[in-house]
Amino acid sequence: MKRYEVKQFLVMFFSHLGNIADETAKLMLQPFLEIIKSLKQNPSISVSILRELSILHGSKDECSILKTRIDRRYLRLCRTQEELEKLNLKKALSQRQFPAARSKQFTLEDYVFSQIDFSRYSKIDEKSFEWFFLGGIDDFSEDFFSKTISLDKKEAKSLIENAYRKENGVYSLEKESPVILSLMRTLETSLEDQPLITLEEISLELKSFLDFVEWPKGRKDTITQIKQLYRLLVFSLDGCNFTHNDGMETKLFIAPNGDLSAIFQPGSKAWTRVLIPHDQN
């Protein structure tokens, strides 16, 4: 499709996005994604997530960004499930095991904290360190880091990189501190991640695409319809499945209230999690 034909299509496409319930707009999403899929790899066009959404219902081999994000969320649930299975709350709250358990000197939080194995962060294999911990920083928002450890993403990444030394494919913790241990545990177990795909990401990619087709700058129909496009893209994830390295499958679906949710199965036990809340799509 030639550039002027793409522009003509986009004019019609954005005009139908004004009413999100319009079935015509939903039917037109696929041609929009087909255009994205047809774009040749070009450093000047940053549409990685849009490209993956365009092929998601076909081969998922190319969906590295989305699958990576799903995989990391699954691994955090696996770790959380493991910790829950190790807890013996009845034993913990018994007076015989903990004489102070029935006093205000000992709380459930104290017991849970006492069971954490922080030594697991002393040595970490290269893939887990770089893919899961450093890469996992991007799964959380700036607000999350400022709230939990009073650092921004850049500072959190720098803290981890400076605390560990790599040797023979293993990262060893050389500068141990309560902050670094808390940060590593947070990245491994926190379920307070940001939406799987954010409106900001889609906005930036759409801008890159429109700049490529030389779309007139400042057109109101693109500015006002970005959220509607984002909503349609979120709904396009309904029914997608992802298979993890251990063979377990995660199923995505749109809940009755509009949330994009997923059924994970860490340890063969079903967990349902919201990936993108309805009030953000």
Mean of pLDDT values over 63-88: 88
The type of residue at 133 is F
The model carries a pTM of 0.86
Q: Which tens digit of pLDDT belongs to each residue from 45-57? A: 899 999 999 988 6
Strand locations in the chain (E): 123-125, 164-167, 170-173, 241-243, 249-254, 260-264, 271-276
Q: How many CA atoms lie within 13 A of 91 on its CB side?
A: 5
Return the higher-pLDDT residue of 91 and 251. Answer: 251
Q: Is the pLDDT of residue 109 over 70?
A: no
Mean of pLDDT values over 32-44: 85
> Residue 250 has which token pair?
């995660």
| Coil, strand or helix at 59 | coil
**CA separation (Å) from 120 to 117, 128, 188?**
6, 12, 11
Q: What percentage of the chain carries pLDDT values higher than 90?
A: 55
Q: Is the pLDDT of residue 38 over 60?
A: yes
- DSSP string covering 212-226, please? HTTPPTT-HHHHHHH
Q: By C-alpha distance, which of 62, 39, 40 is closest to 52?
A: 62
What is the rounded CA–CA span in Å between residue 262 and residue 141?
Answer: 20
The type of residue at 281 is N
| Coil, strand or helix at 172 | strand
Please check whether residue 18 is in contact with residue 228, taking contact to mean a CB–CB distance below 8 angstroms: yes
What is the rounded CA–CA span in Å between residue 166 and residue 255?
Answer: 44
**CA separation (Å) from 277 to 30, 56, 280?**
23, 20, 6
Residue 180's pLDDT band, with cuts at 50, 70 and 90, is very high
Mean of pLDDT values over 226-244: 91
What is the rounded CA–CA span in Å between residue 181 and residue 191?
Answer: 17
